[in-house]
Copies of this chain bind each other. A is one copy, B any other.
Amino acid sequence: MSLSSQLSVSGAIDLSTYDSRATPGFDGNKADAKLALKDLGDELSDLQERLFAGGRTGAGTTRLLVVLQGMDTAGKGGIVRHVAGLADPQGLSITSFKKPTRAELRHDFLWRVRKALPAPGMIGIFDRSYYEDVLIGRVRELAPPEEIERRYDAINAFEQEFTGSGGVLVKCFLRITKDDQKERLAARLDDPTKYWKYNPGDLDERELWDGYQEAYAIAIERCGEAAPWHLVPSGGKWYRNWAVATLLLEQLRALELQWPAPDFDVEAEKKRLAAM
Binding site for B on A (CB under 8 A): 53-54, 56-57, 77, 80-81, 84-85, 87-90, 92, 94, 96, 125, 127, 182, 185-186, 189, 192-193, 195-200, 203, 206-207, 259-262, 264, 266, 269-270, 272-274, 276
23 contacts between A and B (CB under 8 A): A53-B196, A54-B196, A57-B196, A80-B88, A81-B88, A81-B90, A85-B88, A87-B89, A89-B89, A90-B94, A90-B96, A182-B276, A186-B270, A186-B274, A189-B270, A192-B259, A192-B262, A195-B261, A195-B262, A196-B260, A198-B262, A203-B276, A207-B276
Question: Which of B84, B206, B207, B264 is within 8 Å of A200, CB to CB?
Answer: B264
Contact A203 B260 (CB under 8 A): no
Contact B269 A203 (CB under 8 A): yes
C-alpha spacing A104/B270, complex, angstroms: 34
Query: For residue A76, which residue of chain B has the nearest CB?
Result: B90
Contact A90 B127 (CB under 8 A): yes
C-alpha spacing A182/B269, complex, angstroms: 12
On chain B, the residues within 8 Å of A195 by CB distance are: 259-262, 266
C-alpha spacing A89/B125, complex, angstroms: 10
C-alpha spacing A46/B90, complex, angstroms: 21
A240 to B: closest C-beta gap in Å: 16
Contact A203 B273 (CB under 8 A): yes
On chain B, the residues within 8 Å of A84 by CB distance are: 89-90
C-alpha spacing A94/B94, complex, angstroms: 11
C-alpha spacing A182/B89, complex, angstroms: 27
On chain B, the residues within 8 Å of A182 by CB distance are: 273, 276
Apart from A203-B269, A203-B276, list 8 A-B contacts with CB within 8 A.
A80-B88, A80-B89, A87-B89, A90-B127, A182-B276, A186-B274, A203-B273, A206-B273
